[in-house]
Amino acid sequence: MKAIRALALGLLVLPAACMQANTAGTPVSASFLPAMRWDAHRPEAGDWTRALLGALRDEGAVLASTVPSDVDTFCPGYADAAPQERVAFWAGLFSVLAKHESTFNPKARGGGGQWIGLMQISPRTAEAYDCDLPAKSGLADGKANLACAVKIAASQVSRDGAIVADSDGDWRGIARDWAPMRSAAKRDDMAGWTRKQSYCQG
């Protein structure tokens, strides 16, 4: 079963127009995307997922090669997962974090306009991480906002070796920049969702 799931997730690297063979060997047109929390909530969901997966394979590639010390809380099968499954997990985690940051609103502004977009990133932080943003829409562009979030998380998680906290209970990784990760109730909601996804089953 794991091999079948890994093969399916491997299709993520193929263009949507590619053909996927069914069990009888007959090619059928298919575009596979792993489950995200924003599915069925926004018309841009598919575009966001594809952009997020692309960012995770590019500047965020270090995330899939890292095994955070607290990853079992969010994804029990992560340590033994195929690379495609690890990428899918990180994408899923960003999608459920976006629920708590912006309720999937790409134009959301918090803190009196201090934090912007899906992942509520400040312009100052985006500049510090040299995020590539559209001149007109900036952080209000959903795909660019997610790509910027990936750059930030890749730096923090790879440095700290944790998603939320270290052995001393200090905030680390994603929790450095995203407050919902510091809320036990919200963290439990996020972990509860990612743990149920096929790419975290092991």
- CATH-assigned architecture of domain 34-200: Orthogonal Bundle (1.10)
pLDDT at 169: 80
Share of the chain above pLDDT 70, in %: 85
pLDDT at 40: 94
pLDDT at 7: 43
pLDDT at 31: 53
Q: What pLDDT, in 10s, does the model give residues 130-178?
A: 999 999 999 999 999 999 999 999 999 999 999 998 778 889 999 999 9
pLDDT at 21: 34
Print pLDDT tens along the chain (202 aa).
444 444 444 444 433 333 333 333 323 223 579 999 999 999 999 999 999 999 999 999 999 999 999 999 999 999 999 999 999 999 999 999 999 999 999 999 999 999 999 999 999 999 999 999 999 999 999 999 999 999 999 999 999 999 998 778 889 999 999 999 999 999 999 999 999 999 999 7
Share of the chain above pLDDT 90, in %: 80
CA angle 110, 156, 116 (to 5 degrees): 15
pLDDT at 44: 97
Residue 202: CB atoms within 10 Å: 12
